[in-house]
Structure 1
Amino acid sequence: MTELADLATPALLVDRTRLERNVASMAGAMRDAGVALRPHFKTSKCLEVARRQLDHGAIGFTCSTPAEVRLLQDEGVGDLLWAHQPVGPAKVAFAVEALRRGGLMIGLDSAESAAPLSAAGVTVPFLLDVDTGLGRTGVSPERAVETAVRLAALPGLELRGVMTHEGHLGSYGADRTGLEEAGTQAGRRLAEVAAALRVAGLDCPIVSVGSTPGATSAPFVEGVTEARPGTYVYYDSGQVRLGSATLDRCAQTVLTRVVSAQRPGTVIIDAGVKAMSSDGLAGGSLGTVCDPSGRPLEDVAFVNGNEEHGYLTGSGTARLRVGDLLRVVPNHACGTTNMWSGLHVLDDGRTVDRWPIRARH
């Protein structure tokens, strides 16, 4: 065991008790709803976390990158969804290789993205990506049948169902009622698309929704068959603001020290944007600042960061001194994970193990 004070800072910590509670809780909720759980691997990029999710009944994983697909296939995980269109020669070549290994579906939203795969002479199980409000990838519900028919007609392509990412729920902030209603609506729109595909004579066994904010609404719509949350394994300050979790559920923190206190109202810590997720900059915070035990500090805000320096402001900084040890609950767990090559496992206030983080960009 290693005391926190003996670790070099900054350091990425994961509280094992909180992690295991989060994994078990989400698995139980989906099991009770009769919905399959296919978590997003990008949140942890850690096989030790993934094994716990599988042990609690996850059917497989959702992947963002080729590296994630390769890592999990090498580990023998056989039910993967690559939820990112493989566009460009390098990604198409990788997709063909991965599809030949088996156990992989691809997310697609157009014939243009599907045609190179079809021409490669492999079987391509796919989910039709449907936009239910985010406005990112995904065909509109009104064009879903037309697009699915075109895709299913291409040689080698096999429609397995539909998917959506209800990421627009994050825009509801503290309006949890509005968020829940929007999540339910996203699930309904996707289920309606699936029903329309069946009327058109297309099989659609999988109806897949995916987000942590929406995990209490979208998966519970009649007709939805699986959920793909990711952030729930750790939660983060962003999910606390959305009402998806309380701070005591947040398993991931960044350990840091005060390194300078030259100006009243501001102190500098040794965790900057290379230790955190810069997603927080748009929302006005990189994370929630806590003492070494994880208790939030009053009147201290993490407002900005350079590469190796973080700026804490507020009247509470007057109590901080150079050398003080702090912990920050990141604004976005997934982006923070991708900044690190390993994490320290925290148990009863001490680190007891170190787990590698892999498949990073």
Structure 2
Amino acid sequence: MTAAPPVPLDELPTPALLIDRPRMEANLTAMAASIGAAGVALRPHFKTSKCVAVARRQLAHGAIGFTCATPAEVALLQDAAVEDVLWAHQPVGPAKVAFAVQALSRGGLTIALDSLEVAEPLSAAAAAGVEVPFVLEVDTGLHRAGVDPDRAVKTAAELTALPALELRGVLTHEGHLAAHGTDRAGLEAAGDLAGRTLVQVAEALRAEGHACPLVSVGSTPGATSAPFAEGVTEARPGTYVYFDANQVGLGSAQTGQCAQTVLTRVTSTQRPGTAIVDAGIKAMSSDSIATAGILGIVCDAAGTPLPGLEFTNANEEHGYLTGPGTADLRVGDLLRIIPNHACGTTNMWSTLYFVDGDQATDRHPIEARY
């Protein structure tokens, strides 16, 4: 159902994925103001929500378009008439190349590339008349995708020599900032360095005659640093729309800003020191890279963290809460869990509920899932 009448949380089946609407709106307002203060455009990553209703709220708060990770996300947004989409994942293999050409033919799509090996099949497939606007992905420290900064000019020359390819700018994802953990000063310095490194690459490309209007950084931890490097033109945070336990651990948010929770009930208190809930790994993210070191932060039904409870282990349909706080739990108690990673949790669900206070006010589909 869409736009369902208000339903008390206590009447929802558990587990259920909840989005606290006031917290989400506050997050959208705050990020729009911060990125606006940096003087750059905001292009959120769509993978955090995979929900068109959420995307429309981000557009209402000034987003210029979206970043996508998968073909399904690109298609969903194009079908929703979003006119500016960046696909920040290399289209490798016949199926993705064919999809890229089809999606490019609809207009409004830019592709991220980082090598001749990735670009050549796309160029060959698009040579019949489809232009391929692309950004060169640059590695500023994550060591995942992206060309090394000192090889960027050479790689750009190779790619722009191919038919159909048109360089629009440079892109990086400063995901390595999470390695700084609770060292917020170190994280901020690393984010600033990532932004400045990308700007230097853009300047080197311009010096060789390449147009480079787009200088795009992207992460929620880096949103207070990388976009403020002079010369950056856009930021692509994703998790900020909901935040999560990981971002709390990194100092990017407080628990009171976390809009995404999993509603769950206590199902067993048979063993002292342990309580079982009906939210297991199929309801949560078990992302091993999350700095939180937990599956989530345990809260009461109002979303306030409960002391003395840890959520560190789960089976498919069972979550194990431990600690002295379990002595106060009873079978049937309603709890909410702030997940360790919002994006991974989203991908486990097909629907979400917008929540205001103790009422679920709307239900919306989550699409483009694996």
Alignment of 1:314-333 (within 5 A): 314-333=323-342
For 1:46, the equivalent position in structure 2 comes to: 51
* Secondary structure at 1:232 match in 2: helix
Deviations 1:128-147 (A, max 9, x none): 00000011000111111111
Tell me the distance in 2 between the aligned counterparts of 1:92 and 1:195: 30
- Tell me what 2:177 maps to: 169
In structure 2, the partner of 1:294 is 303
Q: How many residues align?
A: 361
Q: Distance in 1 between matches of 2:315 and 2:326?
A: 19
Q: Aligned to 2:352, which of 343, 351, 354?
A: 343
Counterpart of 1:230? 238
- How far off its partner does 1:100 sit? 0.6
- Which SS does the other structure have where 1:67 is aligned? helix
Deviations 1:226-257 (A, max 9, x none): 00000000001110111111111110000001
Distance 2:57 2:12 in 1: 26
Decide whether the 8 Å contact of 2:221 with 2:247 is kept in 1.
yes
Q: Distance in 2 between matches of 1:281 and 1:20?
A: 27
SS across alignment from 1:160 = strand
Give SS of 2:265's match: strand
Q: Which residue of 1 aligns with 2:210?
A: 202
Q: Which residue of 1 aligns with 2:62?
A: 57
> Which residues of structure 1 form unaligned runs of 5+?
none
Is the partner of 1:203 in helix, strand or coil? coil
- Give the structure 1 partner of residue 71 of structure 2: 66
- How far residue 115 of structure 1 moved from its aligned partner, in angstroms, is 0.4
Does the Cα contact within 8 Å between 1:235 and 1:250 map onto a contact in 2? yes
Which consecutive aligned stretches of 4+ in structure 1 deviate over 3 angstroms post-superposition? Answer: 280-283
Cα 1:306/1:282, change in 2 over 3 Å: farther
Give the Cα–Cα distance (whole angstroms) in 2 for the partners of residues 87 and 272 of structure 1. 34
> Does structure 2 conserve the Cα–Cα contact (< 8 Å) formed by 1:82 and 1:105?
yes
Q: Which residue of 1 aligns with 2:3?
A: none
1:57 alignment partner AA:
G
In structure 2, what is the equivalent of residue 96 of structure 1? Answer: 101
Query: Which amino acid in 1 is paired with 2:357?
Result: D
State the alpha-carbon separation in 2 of the partners of residues 163 and 271 from structure 1: 37
SS at match of 2:279: coil
Retained in 2: the 8 A contact 1:280–1:286? no
Contact between 1:281 and 1:304, CA under 8 Å: does it hold in 2? Answer: no
Pair 1:352-2:361 in alignment: yes
C-alpha distance in structure 2 between counterparts of 1:12 and 1:349, whole Å: 14
| In structure 1, C-alpha distance between the alignment counterparts of 2:279 and 2:339, rounded to whole Å | 11
Check whether the contact 1:44–1:357 (CA below 8 A) recurs between aligned residues: yes
Candidates 300, 315, 318, aligned match of 1:309? 318
Identity of aligned residues (%): 70
Partners of 1:131 and 1:305 lie apart in 2 by 35
SS at match of 2:305: coil
Query: What is the Cα deviation at residue 32 of structure 1?
Result: 2.1
Instruction: Give 1:356 shift.
Output: 1.1
> Contact 1:44 / 1:334 at 8 angstroms: preserved in 2?
yes
Q: Deviations over 1:139-190 (max 9, x none)?
A: 1111111111101111110000000000011111111111000000000100
Return the alpha-carbon distance in structure 2 between the equivalents of residues 194 and 290 of structure 1: 45
* TM-score, length basis structure 1: 0.98
CA–CA distance in structure 1, aligned partners of residues 290 and 76 of structure 2:
32
> Is the Cα contact below 8 Å between 2:246 and 2:290 reproduced in 1?
no
Kept after mapping to 1: 8 A contact 2:46/2:66: yes
Contact in 2 for aligned 1:190/1:207 (Cα 8 Å): yes
| TM-aligned CA deviation for residue 282 of structure 1 | 6.3
Aligned-partner Cα distance in 1 for 2:288–2:165: 39
Q: Which 5+ residue runs of structure 2 have no aligned equivalent? A: 1-5
1:291-346 Cα deviation digits (max 9, x unpaired): 11111111110001111111111111111111111100000001001111111111
CA contact (8 A) 2:290 2:340 kept: no
Counterpart mapping for 1:89-238 below 5 A: 89-120=94-125, 121=127, 122-238=130-246
